[in-house]
Amino acid sequence: MVSYAHRTAFSVIAFALLVTNSAHAAGGAYAVDDAAVDSIGSCKAEAWFSTSDHSPANRTAVISPSCTIGILNHRLETSATFSRMRTSGEYGSSITIKGKTPVPGFDFNANNTFGIAVTASASYNMTSDRYGAVSVTLPVSIRISEPLVLLANFGHSHDQFSNTSSTNWGAAFEFNLKPLGFEKLTLIGETFGNDRERDPRAQLGFRFTPASKIDLDLIYGHRLTGQADNWLTAGMTLRF
């Protein structure tokens, strides 16, 4: 059986890496969510693999299918994220269910300038057979210019296993490199954390979009598990 410390580390990274955003946003392995919600009937599958430079044996594999449905004239983007992590030779697995809907009057898809959404998620640790974190977040998207979008997250989570709560925050930018002649490349950076940690976490990476329904990510991350290690992530998103 994995130790308490290992289960806690796995729960933290599973929560941090859980992102099932729309095609307009960072999405994939990025932690900061956006306010856009996909159109009804659209689906996508995201997958990524991360490894630590502190110990190559520490790694995480994630797959996250999602679809958007219509409920009472509102769009609800639903996802199920399956995570498998190896830490210090021990394995852990979890599943997280998440829903996201735009706030009426602040639909980023409608005005493409400013938007607010509400997300709620709940995780289950399949290794320890316990429920994990329950979270509610308000993602905000602001388009500064055609190539530049800023994101902000404000939320609260409660870890039922450790019986602790935290206020979560995040900030990010997405800059499409079309003005520099690289229309298929987007530079994405983010920082995020909570009130229980002194040092924030961060990721910076490039997204290559060879076709409208495919994204390929290469990301460098720091302190993704709350420890002073660096992570390299490769990911893919397929939309259909």
Structural domain of residue 129, as residue ranges? 4-239
Beta strands 164-176 and 185-194, pairing class: antiparallel
4 exposure class (CB count in 10 Å sphere: 0-12, 13-18, 19+): exposed
Per-residue pLDDT of the chain (240 residues; tens, 9 = 90+): 444 444 444 444 443 444 333 334 478 899 999 999 999 999 999 999 999 887 767 899 999 999 999 998 899 999 999 999 887 778 889 999 999 999 999 999 988 899 999 999 999 988 888 888 899 999 999 999 999 999 999 999 998 878 899 999 999 999 999 999 999 999 999 999 999 888 899 999 999 999 999 999 999 999 877 677 899 999 999 999
Quote the pTM value. 0.87
Residues 6+ apart with CB under 8 A from 205: 30, 187, 188, 189, 217, 218, 219, 220, 233
* Residue 19, domain CATH: 2.40.160.40
Taking the C-alpha atoms of residue 1 and residue 102, their distance in angstroms, rounded to an integer, is 41
- Cα–Cα dist 228/17, whole Å: 17
Question: Which structure tokens are listed for 227?
Answer: 């420890």
The structural domain count of the chain equals 1
Which pair of structure tokens corresponds to residue 184? 């298929």
Burial 177-202 (b: 16+ CB within 10 A, else e): eeeeeeeeebbbbbbbbbeeeeeebb
Backbone angles phi, psi at 173, to 5 degrees: -135, 150
Tell me if residue 146 falls in helix, strand or coil.
Answer: coil
